[in-house]
Amino acid sequence: MRVAFAGTPDFAVPCLEACRASGAEVVAVYTQPDRPAGRGRKLAASPVKEAALAAGIPVEQPESFKAEADRSRLAAYAPDLMVVVAYGLILPRKVLAIPRLGCWNVHASLLPRWRGAAPIQRAILAGDAESGVDLMQMEAGLDTGPVLVERRTPIAADETGGSLHDRLSALGADALAEGLRRTLAGETLAPRAQAAEGVEYAHKLDKAEARLDFTQPAAALERKVRAFDPWPVAEADIAGERLRIWSARAVAGIAGAEPGRILAASRDGIDVACGEGALRLTAVQRAGGRRIGVADYLNARPELKQASS
């Protein structure tokens, strides 16, 4: 079976490796064009491109598939199947129709909940108890296709966007490996249509969302801090200083305390009053600095301990 693989970030690399290990022939890898990265803003290859080049697989980087030449080039690889994982480009119907078996997508949610760009972070923000990965037969709609294989996993109380990302990346590779194994054995996977109810859209993350609004409940702000680790990282104004908030948890507050007021500051954390309860900050980052524990931060700002005592 000839497979074309399309993916871009590190989330997709285990799925590429699953394709290679399955016994299928990966005839080409499609990935986003090189983008400026780092302080020097030099063009950098995507993690998927780096993995493909290391494996000696041809790499294609079209800006889109609108041009007939790009679609013809894909067709020339004669793929039986195209596997798409966090590619970042919308595939038009003409592309979906090129592979004999169509296109599969590995999506990091339990569909139809959290269709779209940021399902991992949105699940944590919403307080979902469970997440997972769906291997889906692609259609023209946004993540609307029938599910072929599913893997589920609980979302831990201390789950971050980074930790859930890594677990779902591995689960996605596992689901894809099963789909490939069964297909290579001659089985036709039974598609399960998505439910009409429970559709939620996981809109792309915006850095403006990272600001913590202390009029909100502490539990919601704790979820935001966890969901936005490692990007874009929550931010808050604390005693006249803008801080990135890397770690925090909801605790009991003081009834009637003004949201944003510092209630306590000690080695255990800085407690900030919220609309409901308080948020205890435990790891922060000052402008131009690195992530540090609150105990180290308070060594530089001892007046906070005095003001809250």
3-state secondary structure of 224: helix
CB 121, CB 161: distance < 8 Å? yes
> What is residue 63's DSSP assignment?
S
Indicate whether 228 and 264 sit together in one domain. Answer: yes
pLDDT tens column, 182-202: 999 999 999 999 999 999 999
Please state the domain count of the chain.
Answer: 2
Indicate whether 62 and 164 sit together in one domain. Answer: yes
Indicate whether 88 and 107 sit together in one domain. Answer: yes
Helix (H) or strand (E) holding 300: helix 294-300
Q: What DSSP letter does each residue of 156-216 carry, written as one string?
A: PTT--HHHHHHHHHHHHHHHHHHHHHHHHTT-----BPPPSS---EEPPP-GGGGB--TTS
Indicate whether 147 and 15 sit together in one domain. Answer: yes
At residue 308 the predicted structure's pLDDT band, cuts being 50, 70 and 90, is low
Mean pLDDT of 117-126: 98
Using the 3D structure, point to which of 202, 231, 263 is the last residue of a domain: 202
Indicate whether 171 and 198 sit together in one domain. Answer: yes
CA distances from 279 to 2, 130, 225, 249 (A): 52, 24, 10, 6
Query: Which two tokens mark 166?
Result: 């890594």
**Span of 87-91, 121-125, 223-227, 282-286 with lowest mean pLDDT:** 87-91
Q: What's the chain's average pLDDT?
A: 96
Q: What is the 3-state secondary structure (H, E, C) of 232-270?
A: CCEEEEECCEEEEEEEEEEECCCCCCCCCCEEEEECCEE
Using the 3D structure, point to which of 202, 236, 268 is the last residue of a domain: 202
CB 162, CB 227: distance < 8 Å? no
User: Residues at the annotated binding site?
Assistant: 109-112
Using the 3D structure, point to which of 155, 181, 202 is the last residue of a domain: 202
CA distances from 71 to 63, 77, 106, 155, 156 (A): 12, 10, 22, 40, 43
Indicate whether 191 and 224 sit together in one domain. Answer: no
Structural domain harbouring 153: 2-202
Q: Give percent helix, percent strand, percent coil of the chain, each to the nearest 5.
A: 30, 30, 40
Q: What is the pLDDT of residue 38?
A: 81
Q: Is residue 236 pLDDT above 90, yes or no?
A: yes
Residues forming a β-bridge with 291: 285
At residue 309 the predicted structure's pLDDT band, cuts being 50, 70 and 90, is low
CB 259, CB 275: distance < 8 Å? yes
Helix (H) or strand (E) holding 135: strand 130-137
CATH assignment of the domain containing 265? 3.10.25.10
Mean pLDDT of 125-151: 97
Indicate whether 211 and 190 sit together in one domain. Answer: no
> What is residue 117's DSSP assignment?
S
User: Residues at the annotated binding site for (6S)-5,6,7,8-tetrahydrofolate?
Assistant: 109-112
At residue 307 the predicted structure's pLDDT band, cuts being 50, 70 and 90, is low
Where b means 16+ CB within 10 Å and e means fewer, 106-143 reads bbbbbbbbbbebbbbbbbbbbebeebbbbbbbbeeeeb
Indicate whether 261 and 278 sit together in one domain. Answer: yes
Indicate whether 92 and 68 sit together in one domain. Answer: yes
% of the chain with per-residue pLDDT over 90: 94
Q: Which residue has the tokens 């993690």?
A: 47
What backbone torsions phi and psi does residue 295 show, to the nearest 5 degrees?
-60, -40
Indicate whether 108 and 95 sit together in one domain. Answer: yes
CB burial class (10 A; 0-12, 13-18, 19+) of residue 95? buried
Indicate whether 193 and 219 sit together in one domain. Answer: no
Where b means 16+ CB within 10 Å and e means fewer, 189-199 reads beeeebeeeee
> What is residue 290's DSSP assignment?
-
Mean pLDDT of 121-127: 98
Q: Which residue has the tokens 């990272």?
A: 210
Q: Which of 15, 40, 16 is nearest to 27 (CA)?
A: 16
Indicate whether 192 and 68 sit together in one domain. Answer: yes
Distance between CA atoms of residues 59 and 83, nearest Å: 14
CATH assignment of the domain containing 74? 3.40.50.170
